[in-house]
Chains A and B, each alone.
Chain A
Amino acid sequence: MADAFSETDPQTNTGLLTDRNVRLAGQVVAVVFAAAVLYLLYRIASLVDLGLLETIFPRFVDAYLLVLFIFVVGGVLSVILGVFVGLGRISRSTLTRGVTVGYVEFFRGTPLLFQLIVIYYGIPTLFGGPDFPIQNWEIPAAILGLTLNHGAYIGEAIRGGINSVPDGQMEAARSLGMSYIGAMREVVLPQAWRNALPAMGNDQVILIKDTSLLTVIAVPELLSQFRDVYSTTFDPWTPILLVAVAYLCLTLPLSYVVTYFERRASPGGDNE
């Protein structure tokens, strides 16, 4: 019988893509990428105007706080709305389910930018035009648009979360005499929540970045500040740096918060 384990046999089934080579290739790419980034940062650093940085810093802080405010309010509202949307999606009533599906399809199927423009420019025209009662409509419009849009995505995430809870959980709860809503609230939703957290966390990070679209409805957020500074000074990198740092100061803490919630909601963790 032929010796099948000779060490001198070439690896015929992987060719060049041996484990070792693949790992090496990954490392090479990583080094090249890191080097490129470092080089860019070095070039950028020499272009940054510290004097300008100091002057424009306060307005970027204001913009950051505004985005934070819109994000917190819009985020909370979209999650609350999402719970109702998720429940509506699985309702046994065809009417409820149909309406919910229609809502989700519209807000996921049209661009957020379009929705924001419709709300900001369209709604006042419907309700009085020059007599429209809300003078600073851009912030409520922003929150409304973001909430409606992300409510649809969160709704789908929660629906997925609910569907991944075993049927037996609802059956057991109802067998004990709990109502549908009671069973949902005490047994299914807490588990669905845990399942849906990664998708929800993802969506909220996207919400933060979506605030950049608010520039077209005259909200003085981060991107608007950048455009204003750039169009008057023609210095891109100084404000770019501030914008990048500001967004990271929003998305990174959010990631930590989501991880914290995920850990808390995992089985064995204290959930009440």
Chain B
Amino acid sequence: MDGTSRRTYLKGTAAGAATLGLAGCLGFGGSGEDTIQIGSDIPYPPFEYREADGTLVGFDVDIAAAVFGEQLEMTPEFNQTAFDGIISALNNGNFRVIMSAMTINDTRAEKVDFSDPYFTAYQTIVVPQNSDVTTKEDLRGATIGVQKGTTGSTAAAELKEEFGGDLDIKQYDLIADAFNAILNNQVDAIINDNTVNAQYISQNEDQLRFVEGDGAAVEQGKNAPPYLTLTVEEYGIAFRQDDDDLREQVNEALATIRENGTYDEIYNEYFEG
């Protein structure tokens, strides 16, 4: 089952703190057989993706196991959903929550309610190794690849406005498709979350690199990676607007795993320092 092996591992190391947390936020009759459907756009490494043998892994997957699995004693089940329709799918009842490296913003907050932030991310730019692009301005007249419905897509649209329309944007269903495109000389650059970009770059170090420089993160005084950042964003778990009870429980669970070190453990597994 998805996440089972990780659950066992985490249980072993966080048993003590988990028991305390359980006492506080248990409200479901505690049978451990409640399945919770989680909508997610897979693959989006390193947040949710499948290994070669089909096992679902990733930061979101592990957080879900810790929050829903351990803390709330439910069985998380991830449902593959296209990202650009994922909020509508949530509101149509296809699943209970969204965990898909989803950025909290005002437009989305009109349709869903978010948990407390559980991750900070930045929109960064990926280019081929031999590209001439070293600053944001160099992207004038270039072709950008983005994933449909993401904040990367929005950032690209804003960039296009900034350039007075002098930017070509190609929208892909999956972020993997966009990376395929950059490796096939179909786009000059990709705008997307930094950690996901880092994952793909690490698998293609000879071909791809970040655009370096200071950007939004530095401006806002955040602990940013050394790449050009266009925005600073925070991920949240999305709930239907009438699901306040569950949302509050999840917020408590998030707080708990931050305090007891589970969060840091999971974080360190996927992100160095």
The residues of A with any CB-CB pair to B shorter than 8 Å are 121, 124-125, 128-133, 135-138, 215-216, 218, 220, 224, 227-228, 230-232, 234, 236
Contacts and interface: CB of A to CB of B under 8 A. Distances in A.
Given A121-B180, A231-B149, A136 B186 contact: yes
A227 to B, nearest CB: 5
A124 B171 contact: no
A132 B184 contact: yes
Contacts of B264: none
B154 interface: yes
B139 to A, nearest CB: 15
A49 to B, nearest CB: 14
Interface string B170-205: 111100010011011110000000000000000000
Interface in B87-113: 87-88, 107, 110-111
Specify the main secondary structure of chain B where it touches its partner: mixed
Contact of A138 (B85, B111, B183, B186): B186
B172 A218 contact: yes
B207 interface: yes
Given A130-B128, A135-B143, A224-B171, A231 B185 contact: no
A230 B107 contact: no
A232 B170 contact: no
Nearest to B181: A218
Contacts of A231: 84-85, 87, 148-149
B185 A131 contact: yes
A232 B180 contact: no
A216 B173 contact: yes
Contacts of A131: 185
8 A-B pairs with the lowest CB-CB distances in the bound complex, closest first:
A124-B184, A231-B149, A231-B84, A218-B170, A132-B185, A227-B84, A121-B180, A132-B184
Contacts of B181: 218
Contacts of B170: 138, 218
Contacts of B143: 135-136
Q: Interface centre among B88, B110, B184, by most A CB within 10 Å?
A: B184
Contacts of A232: 107, 149, 154
Contacts of B207: 130
Given A230-B85, A234-B88, 10 more contacts: A121-B184, A125-B184, A128-B185, A130-B183, A136-B186, A137-B184, A218-B145, A227-B149, A228-B84, A228-B149
A216 B171 CA distance: 9
Contacts of A234: 87-88, 107, 110-111
Contacts of A138: 170, 186
12 contacts: A128-B185, A129-B184, A130-B183, A132-B186, A218-B171, A218-B186, A228-B153, A230-B88, A231-B84, A231-B85, A234-B107, A236-B88
Interface string B71-95: 0000000000000110110000000
A125 B185 CA distance: 10
Output the residue of A138, A220, A234 with the most chain B CB within 10 A.
A234
A7 to B, nearest CB: 59
B148 A228 contact: yes
